[in-house]
Amino acid sequence: MTTAETDAVVARLLRSDEPSIRWRVRAELLGEPVDARPMRALRKEIRDSARVRTIIAAAADLQPYAKWRGAHWALLSLAALGYPPGDAALLPLRDAVLGHWLSPRYLVDRDVPRVTPQVTRTAVPRVGGRSRRCGSQHGGALLAITRLGVDDGRGEVLAARLSDWQWPDGGWNCDRDPAAAMSSVNETLLPMRGLHAFAEATGDTVAAASARAAAEVFLQRRVAWRRRTPGEPIASDVLKLHHPVYWHYDVLAGLVGLAELDMVGDPRCHDAIDHLESLRRPDGQWSATARYWRLAAEGSNIESVPWDTVSTRTPNEWVTLDALLTLKAAGR
C-alpha cells in the first residue's frame, strides 16, 4: 500500500460514527496531545456515547466475570475505547471487580499434588512449583483499572500476585495437568499488558521485568506458531482476526501487546507482521473474520453491544485501526 492509500484509510476512520475510533486515530496514530481541548471534548463524547452507556448499564446486576457483560469485561472495554480516566462513575464497577479478584482465595498459595475444586475454593494451587492460575483474569483487571485511572492502590496487589504466579518461561497457565510445563498464550497476553501498563504508570520495576519476561512467551512462538513445529499455528483460529479478543488470543492481539512494550520490531515478529499485511483488503482496510461474541437475551459469551461487521466482504474499523497501529510500530 502506498502512503496515499493509507492516508485515505486514516481519513475514512476519522469520519467514523464511533467517537472512540476517531479519538484513538488522533491520539494513538497521529499523536495529537490528549489534553488538548478538542481531544478532551472527544473523550467526553466517548463517555456519553450510546455504546458506553449500554456497556455500563448491562454490567450493573451481573456477576463481575459474566461473559461478556460483567463489570470485569465492561472495564476492559471502556479502557480500550479511550474512556476518560479518573471518572468516579466507574468506582462501583472497579470495586466489584477488585472485590472479586482480591477475595481471600486469591491471596493464598498452596502446594498440592493436583488441582481439585476443594483446593481452588480456598487457595491458588501450586503443582510442581507452578501456580495454576488464569492470569488473564487478574491481568485484565490490572490493565483496566490502570488505563482508566481508577487504581486506588489495590493494583499493586494484583501486580504482585501476577509476579508470584509467573512460570519459569515467563507466562501463566491454569492447566490442571500436573505435567504441564509451558505457559498459555491466552493466559499470558493480558498479564503482560496489565503489568506493562502498571509499570509505566507507577515506575514499578518488578512489574516491568515481569512484563518483558512474558513477552518471550510470544516471541519464542514467533507470535502465532508452535515452537516445536514452526510451520504449525498455535491454534486453528490464531491467524484469523477478531475483535474483541477478550481472554482469547490471535496474531493481531499478540502484535498489539508486543507493540505496547515497543518489542514489535523484534525479528521474531516478522512472520506475523507479514501475515497481517497479507490480510489487508484491496481498499487498504482489514476485516474481522471470526468473533467470540454474540448478541442474545441469555446465555454465555453474550455482548451488550455489537462490534462492527464480521465478514470477509466488509472492513472492520476496530481491526483496521489496530492493524495500522501495529504496522506503524513495526516501521512498515
- Dump the DSSP string for 40-59: HHHHHHHHTSHHHHHHHHHH
Mean pLDDT of 109-127: 97
Listed in order, strand segments (DSSP E) in 77-134 are 109-111, 124-127, 130-131
- At 296, is the pLDDT very low, low, confident or very high (cuts 50, 70, 90)? confident
pLDDT at residue 228 greater than cutoff 90: no
Residues 234 and 313 in one domain: yes
Would you say residue 328 lies in a domain?
A: yes
Would you say residue 249 lies in a domain?
A: yes
What pLDDT does residue 315 have? Answer: 98
Opening angle at CA 251, ends 17 and 49, nearest 5: 20
Mean pLDDT of 84-91: 98
Q: Of 191, 220, 249, which closes a domain?
A: 220
What pLDDT does residue 165 have? Answer: 99
Mean pLDDT of 298-316: 93
- At 2, is the pLDDT very low, low, confident or very high (cuts 50, 70, 90)? confident
Give the separation between CA 47 and CA 90, rounded to whole angstroms.
11
pLDDT in tens, 60-87: 989 999 999 999 999 999 999 999 999 9
Residue type, 55: I
Would you say residue 137 lies in a domain?
A: yes
Residues 233 and 317 in one domain: yes
pLDDT in tens, 13-67: 999 999 999 999 999 999 999 999 999 999 999 999 999 999 999 999 899 999 9
Q: What is the largest CA-CA distance in the chain?
A: 60
Give the separation between CA 223 and CA 221, rounded to whole angstroms.
5
Strand partners, 125: 110
pLDDT at residue 1 greater than cutoff 80: no
Would you say residue 59 lies in a domain?
A: no
Residues 185 and 325 in one domain: no
Q: Of 220, 252, 267, which closes a domain?
A: 220
Would you say residue 123 lies in a domain?
A: yes
Would you say residue 34 lies in a domain?
A: yes
Residues 39 and 142 in one domain: no
Sheet containing strand 124-127, edge to edge, reads 109-111, 124-127, 130-131
- Asked if 214 and 201 touch (Cβ cutoff 8 Å), the reply is no
Residues 124 and 205 in one domain: yes
Q: Of 188, 203, 220, which closes a domain?
A: 220
Give exposure, 279-307, as e/b (b: 16+ Cβ within 10 Å).
Answer: bbeeebbbbbbebbbeeeeeeeebbbbeb
Residues 268 and 128 in one domain: no
Would you say residue 13 lies in a domain?
A: yes
Residues 79 and 41 in one domain: no
The DSSP symbol for 289 reads -
Residues 272 and 247 in one domain: yes
Residues 215 and 232 in one domain: no
Domain that holds residue 29: 1-48
Residue 274: how many CB atoms within 10 A of its CB?
A: 10
Residues 216 and 226 in one domain: no
- At 261, is the pLDDT very low, low, confident or very high (cuts 50, 70, 90)? very high
Residues 94 and 214 in one domain: yes
Would you say residue 57 lies in a domain?
A: no
Give the separation between CA 23 and CA 13, rounded to whole angstroms.
10
Strand partners, 302: 294
Locus of grid cell 476517531? 22
Give the separation between CA 220 and CA 308, rounded to whole angstroms.
33
Residues 156 and 256 in one domain: no
Q: Give the chain's domain count.
A: 3
